[in-house]
Chains A and B, each alone.
Chain A
Amino acid sequence: MRAGGGARTIEDFMSFAFNDDQKMLAESADRFMLDDYAFETRRKIMSMDEGFSREVWSQFAELGWLALPIPEEHGGLGGSTVDTAVLMECFGRGLVVEPYMGTVVLGAGFVAAAGSDAQKGEILAGVAEGRTLLGFAHIEPKARFTLSHVETTATKDGAGYVLNGDKAIVHNADAADYLIVSARTAGATTDSDGVTLFLVDRKAEGVELRSYPTIDGLRASEIKFSGVKLGADAVIGDVDGAMPVIEAVVDRANVLLCAEAAGAMDAAVKLTVEYLKTRVQFGRPIGDFQVLQHRSVEMLGAKEYSRALTYRAAGVMDVANARDRARAVSAAKVEMGRAGKKIGQDGVQLHGGMGMTEDMAVGHYFKRLTMIDMLFGNTDHHLRRFARLA
């Protein structure tokens, strides 16, 4: 935790109740989901060219949501991880497909954490105002969940670099203006030392995208970098020293994914209980059957525990040392993975045959929860990470 004294108390870090700003944020975001992001609206948005709505993105900008975690000196609101978690939870309830994670949490997160003044100036205000989209090109085809597995290379070329390699599962890369790309400048494939982050124009020569929808309704791309020329000013942060930054930003992203999942779980539980109360078979609502009531209770409990641990982890994200932060995140991700699986699977099961159809939202929550688990380390990966940090 933080060194030195001060007037902070345990409540400052572990606030389990929303403060007034957070309450207002949650209210306005949930209202947006109800009024402007209903299930049918989302379906139409998903079928747009980019897989999300630029108009909705502008509305997010107007509402200050894109500025939320960005530092105030760069046009942001300087919000904490908890503040952002509150918003992400609402996004989870709404099954939002807009590229908040890639642009605001990851992309802008890297620039804010490690970028030069010039980079911050160029990127952050643009993100806050909704003009600039970003993608984080880090995962590689053979890396699985090992964060330091980087085979993409950036070879020195005069003052600059030449980028070569393949990146995988880059969400909304095809809409991004810039990509934040990790590449190896020294060391062996999985060495922590020797990784460098670069700011790359998505339209630069040698950047080739193969884009596709994802099973949970988003868009992503495989990216091939072939001899992409980068100036020295493309480096974000320290040469060879990107891994600590990557770990910190991805840890934060994972907590925020858990917050999104909490919203999805909340919605899935509510939909399921509603269905059980209205679906009549054998002359009565099937929710009358105790077995199904207990299953619903178990779903609710799983959501409550996961959500509580998520907000706890979010609370320490901005202040903990790397080890404590990592343990908090991995614990939250494990709890989320298990809860999400139970709620997703049982949500569909309790809806019976209807749960299997595309027309019902419960299946979409199930898919989203499953893919959140499969991003930046699944349950087993984080269980192992937590155990190793004991």
Chain B
Amino acid sequence: MDLILTPEEEAFRLEVRAFLAAEVPEEVKRKTMTGFRLSKEEHVSWQKKLYEKGWVAPGWPVEHGGTGWTPMQKHLFEEECAAAGAPPVIAFGVTMVAPVIMAFGNDAQKGYYLPRILRSDDWWCQGYSEPGSGSDLASLRTKAVLNGDHYVVNGQKTWTSLAQHANLMFCLTRTEDTGKRQEGITFLLIDMEQPGVTVQPITTIDGSQEINNVFLEDVKVPVENRIGEEGKGWTYAKYLLGHERTGIAAVGRSKAQLKRLKTIASAEQHEGQALIEDANFREKIAEIEIDLLALESLVLRVLSDESSGKGPGPEASFLKIRGTEVQQGITELLVEAVGNYAHPYVPDAMKTGWNEDPIGPEHAASIAPHYFNWRKASIYGGSNEIQKNIIAKAVLGF
């Protein structure tokens, strides 16, 4: 059940495919496809290549550097990138803070930050969650006190992905306690290289350190780094969270991972035949594939609504739920496919420059860690339970 494309769309797809084949380094492709760690340099280098082509921010308005593509073109681009093993563009700058700066920032902020985001000259991280504020983000307590021409910020952010690479953080702080939690929140852009900013890695159950605690101790943030109005930060935060729901569905990536699953299941021997020949296993793959087809169908509908001017509605929360369930379902089947070789834990095998023989098949090393790591997907970005609450209220009127 492939997409039915117009000749122009088909030509576009082939153009993208050719670019990716020429520009994605083999080693980067291998690491992206198998879920191995990419270095900061590898990410930035790839994003700069996309920037040179004019393709780093397909979701941006053309006047700021976007591509002006149709929804189908954006969808095809994502699919081809995933199939080619291109690293996903790090979301914090391009997809998350940039739309907020465009919608609510002043001219100076737009003029300064947007080109730097486009060129990947800055690496952003997201200062939202706190130990006491996860699902209840509005209860956040990081304080920002105005002191003349700057705010003094004190508090702790947690779950800050890739903060170890970041030089900038967009941060929700509390400037006022009005009694109503969503009021009195201020959206600040914080220079991570300031005194008072301490990044402390958190080890997750897969053994990796991609998230961090960020401690802020008397950090000075110039008033110029405030987006929009003091106390109105919650509006901007919600705008950010609601803005990019189709991306988090990651249809292209799931298609590529499903293809990888089939390849691995074809190599795995099971009672004298390939595991993929086992009817039960094949049907389990088919179930996920069908869930993914339905997901893609809704994504295309939402993209189409977006381009005809309708903003992403709360139905977009469905995309996050199923998108993450499909991703997780594929990681589960990958563990089953690798069988006994889910046991060995060889973190060094997932880094550049590891030269030893693999333990078991080469693809085995990242599979179980990736399964455990990916449990985060139904928790982050607004947990799937919260997404259901949103749909219940906003769509069903409960």
CB of B300 within 8 Å of the partner chain: no
Q: Chain A, interface size: which category?
A: 35 or more
Complex partner residue of B343 from A215, A355, A359, A364, CB under 8 angstroms:
A215
Instruction: Mark interface residues in A158-192 (1 if CB within 8 Å of B CB, else 0).
Output: 00000000001100000000000000000000100
The answer to whether B346 and A212 have CB atoms under 8 Å apart is yes
Asked if A142 contacts B339 (CB within 8 A), the reply is no
CB neighbours of B343 from chain A (8 A): 169, 214-216, 220, 371, 374-375
Contacting chain B: which of A243-251, A310-318, A346-354? A346-354
- Judged by a CB distance under 8 angstroms, whether B60 is at the interface is no
Q: Is B378 an interface residue (CB 8 A)?
A: yes
Q: In this assembly, does A79 line the interface, its C-beta being within 8 Å of a C-beta of chain B?
A: no
Determine whether B15 belongs to the interface, using a CB cutoff of 8 Å to chain A.
no
* Residue ID in chain A nearest B360 by CB atoms: A141
- Chain A residues 254-282 with CB under 8 Å of chain B are 280-282
A152 within 8 A of B: no
Q: A169-B344, A370-B335 are in contact. Are A282 and B268 (CB under 8 A)?
A: no
Distance (Å) between the CB of B162 and the closest chain A CB? 15
The listed residue (A214, A282, A353, A364) touching B159 by CB distance below 8 A is: A353
The A interface, classified by DSSP as helix, strand, loop or mixed, is: mixed
The answer, yes or no, to whether B340 is at the interface (CB within 8 Å) is yes
Q: Is A291 an interface residue (CB 8 A)?
A: yes
- Other-chain residue from A144, A145, A214, A383 in contact with B345 (beta carbon distance below 8 A): A214
Given A168-B340, A215-B342, residue A364 in contact with residue B281 (CB < 8 A):
no
Chain A residues near B335 (CB-CB < 8 A): 370, 374
Known contacts A213-B345, A215-B343, A282-B136; is A348 also within 8 Å of B380 by CB?
A: no
B203 at the binding interface (Cβ < 8 Å): yes
A352 contacts B344, C-beta separation under 8 Å: no
**Chain B interface extent, by class:** 35 or more
Which B residues touch A168, using CB under 8 A? 340-341, 360
Given A363-B372, A370-B335, A374-B340: A352 in contact with B379 (beta carbons within 8 A): yes
Q: Does B344 contact A353, Cβ atoms closer than 8 Å? A: no
Chain B residues positioned under 8 Å from A141 (CB to CB): 360
Q: For the complex, give the distance between the alpha carbons of A222 and B344 in Å.
A: 10
A339-379: CB near B (< 8 Å → 1, else 0) gives: 00100010011001101111100011011001100110010
- Asked whether, in the complex, the Cβ of B204 is within 8 Å of the Cβ of A357, the reply is yes
CB distance from A73 to the nearest CB of B (A): 36
What's the Cα separation between A143 and B340 when bound, in Å? 9
A131 at the B interface (CB under 8 A): no
Alpha-carbon separation in the docked complex, A42 to B122 (Å): 41
| Closest beta carbon of chain B to A159's beta carbon, Å | 34
B139 closest partner in A (C-beta): A281
Q: Evaluate contact between B342 and A281: CB separation under 8 angstroms.
A: no
Interface residues of B in 335-394 (CB under 8 A from A): 335-336, 339-346, 359-360, 368-369, 371-372, 375-376, 378-380, 383, 385
The distance in angstroms between the C-alpha atoms of A355 and B139, with both chains bound, is: 20
Q: List B contacts of A349 (CB < 8 A).
A: 375, 378-379, 383
Flag whether A323 is at the interface (Cβ < 8 A).
no
- Provide 9 A-B residue pairs closer than 8 Å at the C-beta atoms, listed in order of the A residue: A144-B268, A168-B341, A215-B207, A220-B344, A352-B134, A352-B135, A356-B376, A364-B205, A367-B372
